[in-house]
Structure 1
Amino acid sequence: MNILDIIIERKRQEIKESKSKITLQQLKDSEFFNRNTLSLKETLQSKSGIIAEFKRQSPSKGIINDTVSPIEVVSAYENFGASAVSILTDKDFFGGNFNDILKVRREINIPILRKDFMIDEYQFYEAKSIGADVILLIAVCLSTSQVLEFTELSHQLGLEVLLEIHTEEELQHINKNIDFVGINNRNLKDFKVDLQHSVNLKNQLPKNVLSIAESGIYNTEDFNYLKEKGFDGFLMGEYFMKSENPAKAFEEFINKIS
Structure 2
Amino acid sequence: MNILEQIAQDTQTRITHQKTHRPLESIRAQALAMKSDSGRFESALRQEGMSFICEVKKASPSKGVITEDFDPVRIALAYQEAGATCISCLTEPKYFLGSDKYLEAIAKRVNLPVLRKDFVIDPYMIYEAKILGAHAVLLICAILEHSQLQEYQEIAQSLGLCVLVEVHDEEDLQKALDSKARIIGINNRDLRDFSVDIHTSTRLAALIPDEVVRVSESGIQGAQEVQMLESSGFEAILVGESLMRAADKRVALRVLRGDKER
Relative to the length of structure 1, the TM-score reads: 0.93
Distance 1:192 1:31 in 2: 37
Distance 2:134 2:260 in 1: 28
Instruction: Tell me the alpha carbon deviations over residues 188-233 of structure 1, each in whole angstroms, 9 at most, x when there is no partner.
Output: 1122221222211111112321100001101111111111111011
Secondary structure of 2:257's counterpart equals: helix
Pairs within 5 Å for 1:196-235:
196-235=199-238
Name stretches of at least 5 consecutive residues in structure 1 with no aligned partner.
Answer: none
Structure 2 counterpart of 1:34: 34
Instruction: Tell me the alpha carbon deviations over residues 138-193 of structure 1, each in whole angstroms, 9 at most, x when there is no partner.
Output: 01001111111111111011110111001111122123642200001111112222
Residue identity (%): 34
Secondary structure of 2:209's counterpart equals: coil
| Bigger shift: residues 178-187 or 243-252 | 243-252
Change (3 A) 1:156 1:80: same
Distance 2:55 2:227 in 1: 19
Distance 1:30 1:207 in 2: 36
CA-CA distance at 1:105 after TM superposition: 1.5
Structure 1 counterpart of 2:113: 111
CA-CA distance at 1:45 after TM superposition: 3.2
Conserved? CA contact 1:33–1:128, under 8 Å:
no
Q: Which amino acid aligns with 1:86?
A: S
Relative to the length of structure 2, the TM-score reads: 0.91
| Bigger shift: residues 231-240 or 76-85 | 76-85
Structure 2 counterpart of 1:123: 125
2:69 is the counterpart of 1:73: no
Secondary structure of 1:106's counterpart equals: helix
Conserved? CA contact 1:80–1:254, under 8 Å:
no
Distance 1:257 1:122 in 2: 45
CA-CA distance at 1:107 after TM superposition: 1.2
Pairs within 5 Å for 1:7-156:
7-28=7-28, 34-37=34-37, 39-46=40-47, 48-156=50-158
Q: Which amino acid aligns with 2:173?
A: L
Name stretches of at least 5 consecutive residues in structure 2 with no aligned partner.
Answer: none
Distance 1:207 1:42 in 2: 15
Conserved? CA contact 1:72–1:247, under 8 Å:
no
RMSD over aligned CA atoms reads 2.0
Conserved? CA contact 1:91–1:97, under 8 Å:
yes
2:3 is the counterpart of 1:6: no
Instruction: Tell me the alpha carbon deviations over residues 27-68 of structure 1, each in whole angstroms, 9 at most, x when there is no partner.
Output: 256599613336122211337500000000000111101313
